[in-house]
Structure 1
């Protein structure tokens, strides 16, 4: 009987120690050591947005350069960043990067499919609806940025304005509005590039080299 009680006491003493060791081991195994994918997504979005809106502003024409950037860097690179954000359990980053990545791919498809005779080109009302619905989607993400920092908040605010201006420009056929949207879009893209650069440089130098306006 005494031996049984001694054995039970030993089990009760050892069990918490073993559980603590198991928890520590599990924490070590699942610890995330992967790189931050946000700069990749931000640069993919920012660079492509600047180039497209140079076209909207009437500075350059649309051609293979913009379409290639939209397909590969604005599209595929952002989707890769979104998948990496999913592994980091970052819902906002996952939704934003994958969604805007597929936005760029769909935009390239809207331009190329009619040229290959796959489908008819969308009329101005269809394109306006396309841009307005992406603007509405961006409003949701803009609200989420209230809990982040001022830099990302300004980028998403300017993105909402960009989609709305482009939608109005397409719906009315007013090239002046589209041109204004182009310059506003250049600022939006440069803002995304700034945030991406800040995240890269601040991590490399181990200090806030470029501020983001944390709340």
Structure 2
């Protein structure tokens, strides 16, 4: 049956929560669907948010500081993003000015760039995820700081870049699941 003390790897859950939610939001950002609607908010709360928080707690249990910090932080990112969209609609809070949202996104970009340093001894796919996510956050911040005409173009570029970032997380999640299930490397991650 296996070792009763062995803990499952929570990273694929967190990576899928991040990856799928990121892809869907950035399909919207790319302009394919004009209204993100309740689907993105639902994904942001439950899969991008709660699933990553759960993965972060499980990484804590495994003693993985990097994984705990990454998943708990990005799970919280999704929850705060949904709150920023939803709370003004309820009348419980005022929507922040566009430029201040840029500051919020820039801070996440800075955090991600610093987390990228933590990936430098990890596999290449994880490095790519964090590098592309840092670029995505900076593009999204700039989108909120420039004039509306330029913001539209930068937002579309960010959307396509975000789709690539999200799919890279999905790839790593499935590589970890499939490689473990088969006991050998079927999907390389650049060890």
Q: Deviations over 1:32-84 (max 9, x none)?
A: 41110000000000000000001110111210011000000000000000000
Q: Give TM-score scaled by structure 1 length.
A: 0.84
After TM superposition, what 4+ stretches of structure 1 lie above 3 angstroms from structure 2?
none
Q: Deviations over 1:22-41 (max 9, x none)?
A: xxxxxxxxx84111000000
Q: Aligned partners of 2:7 and 2:127: how far apart in 1?
A: 26
1:147: which partner in 2? 121
Q: Aligned partners of 1:119 and 1:144: how far apart in 2?
A: 36
Stretch moving more, 53-62 or 103-112: 53-62
Which of 186, 190, 211 is the matching residue for 2:167? 190
1:72: which partner in 2? 46
Aligned residue pair count: 185
Bigger-Rg structure (1/2): 1
2:90: which partner in 1? 116
Q: Deviations over 1:152-206 (max 9, x none)?
A: 0011000000000000001113110011000000000000000000000000011
2:184: which partner in 1? 207
Q: Mark the runs of 5 or more structure 2 residues left unpaired by the alignment.
A: none
Q: Aligned partners of 1:127 and 1:204: how far apart in 2?
A: 42
Residue pair 1:32, 1:88 contacting (<8 A) in 2 also: no
Structure 1 residues 11-160: aligned runs within 5 Å:
32-60=5-33, 61-160=35-134
Q: Aligned partners of 2:93 and 2:17: how far apart in 1?
A: 28
Q: Deviations over 1:121-176 (max 9, x none)?
A: 11111100000000000011101100101110011000000000000001113110
> Superposition RMSD on alpha carbons, in Å?
1.1
